[in-house]
Amino acid sequence: MLTTNLRVDVPQEIIDSVLDELQDDRAVLSTCALASRSFRARAQEHLYTGITLDLSAQARLSDLHTILITNPVLSDHVHDLSMLLRQGTFRTLQILSPILGMLSGVQNLTISGDMSHPPMWDFIEPELRSCMYTVMQRPNVTKVTAENVHRVPIWYLIRHCGQLRYIDAGKGVSLAPDSDGDSLGAIFPGWSLSAPPSALTSVTFPSSQLRTLRLDGIQCAIAFLRATDPTSCRTRIPHLQTLVLIGVDPYACQPFLDTYAQTLTTVDLAPAGPFFMQNMPPPPPPGFLVWTQMTALRSIHLAFVDWEPQTLDIWLHGTLASIPSVNRLETLRLTGAAILSVDMWRALDTMLAGMDGLSRAHIRVDLKRDCTSREIAERFLRDNLPCLRERGDVSVNWVDTSGEHCSEKH
């Protein structure tokens, strides 16, 4: 009887390459990990690159603990760790500490609270806070992100976690600028602040490795400035390159531009616009930003939401006019300025096309409108930006509700 062996030996390198292409599809990776031994190692490597610890789910934490003990190599794959804080987390502390001890390769730490009931850092169980303080200070942890947590100790991250290269204070976050808990005493009688263990604050870094800073909201911006005030903070930040400020008043943006003028290469701002009411005169523009001393700056992105057209027009002229001629900017991006009239765009177009500091810059305009065709994008360039269109190196991007966009570039 004739038999045929249909088995084909595929080199492991090819299998690994295929699984690498599927690294974002967790469902397929989970199936692959169970399907074949030749798939398992690479699939598990991608599956365990990032994990989330729901500190209210004791059974799931126990299961994870068992898995890591049974197959300790999996812990080496974990680089992104998210800790989800909910009520009742104290029941999981006994098992959390050994899990964190095994996750020695974590590089990015995210601490998230419940959006509907954001926890206050000072009210988190002391043992849990100590666990998070310890992870934050590990030499290989380079990024810390906080979401929906109040009074995150930015002072601790700056002064005692000098290895951090990226700090992200996202939505729903407020920052504590220092270790002084007296301000809470007026709200919570008998309040006393539980500071980090002395072993974790015994060393203050003279210099921080921080490269990227993202702050959402005016409170976070002001708290960061207070935490890094040289009169009370001995830690310098000499390498900050990327700054992202969202919903921050321009007056509060300027101290960042001044303090880090010699190192910032990328500035991404979504400044809070002045309050205005319909059928009322437009409010005066907030303070113009000044870029004069920013010799290293290469990219500016300005995004606008709920600005009154006339106020935005005046503010853009005053802010962009200060880009010095010696600063050879590479990219200027404007998002959400569709509210400007044709005459306003043309005046801005004339100014931008004639600025020496933008002579080598690509000008990108993002308009949040329905994208219909490249012909309409071309018409916008022709009608609103004729000088930049003639100069070249300008693009218009219209983003639709699905996230797709069309563009026209000259």
Q: Which tens digits make up the pLDDT trace of 125-173? A: 888 888 899 999 999 999 999 999 999 999 999 999 999 999 999 999 9
| 130 and 34 in a common domain | no
Q: Residue 58: which pLDDT band, with cuts at 50, 70 and 90?
A: confident
- Indicate if the pLDDT at residue 241 is higher than 50: yes
Q: Is residue 102 part of a domain?
A: yes
| 314 and 168 in a common domain | no
| 59 and 142 in a common domain | yes
The whole-angstrom separation of Cα 334 and Cα 347 is: 15
The whole-angstrom separation of Cα 48 and Cα 82 is: 12
Q: Is residue 395 part of a domain?
A: yes
For 223, 248, 267, 273, 377, the CA distances from 286, given in Å and listed in that order, are 21, 11, 18, 8, 31
Q: Is residue 379 part of a domain?
A: yes
- Indicate if the pLDDT at residue 328 is higher than 70: yes
346 CB contacts (<8 Å, ≥6 apart)?
A: 384, 385, 386
| 36 and 168 in a common domain | no
Q: Is residue 31 part of a domain?
A: yes
Percent of the chain with pLDDT over 90: 45
Return the CATH number at 167: 3.80.10
Q: Is residue 5 part of a domain?
A: no
What pLDDT score does 140 carry? Answer: 96
Residue range 256-263: average pLDDT?
Answer: 96
- Indicate if the pLDDT at residue 84 is higher than 70: yes
| 309 and 396 in a common domain | yes
| 176 and 34 in a common domain | no
Q: In DSSP terms, which residues pair with 166 in a beta bridge?
A: 143, 212
| 344 and 231 in a common domain | no
153 neighbors 176 (Cβ within 8 angstroms): yes
| 55 and 165 in a common domain | yes
Q: Is residue 73 part of a domain?
A: yes
Q: Is residue 258 part of a domain?
A: no
Q: Residue 340: which pLDDT band, with cuts at 50, 70 and 90?
A: confident
What pLDDT score does 41 carry? Answer: 65
Domain with 130, as residue range(s), is 48-185+202-240
Percent of the chain with pLDDT over 70: 76
| 86 and 25 in a common domain | no
Q: What pLDDT, in 10s, does the model give residues 85-111?
A: 876 555 567 788 899 999 999 999 999
pTM to 2 decimal places: 0.86
The whole-angstrom separation of Cα 163 and Cα 139 is: 6
Give the count of domains, the chain.
Answer: 3
| 315 and 302 in a common domain | yes
| 80 and 17 in a common domain | no
| 219 and 330 in a common domain | no
What does R_g of the chain's alpha carbons equal in angstroms?
Answer: 26
Smallest CA-to-CA distance from 397 within 355, 334, 346 is with 334
- Indicate if the pLDDT at residue 190 is higher than 70: no
Q: Is residue 56 part of a domain?
A: yes
Q: In DSSP terms, which residues pair with 6 in a beta bridge?
A: none
The separation between the first and the last C-alpha atoms of the chain, rounded to the nearest angstrom, is 71
The whole-angstrom separation of Cα 363 and Cα 393 is: 7
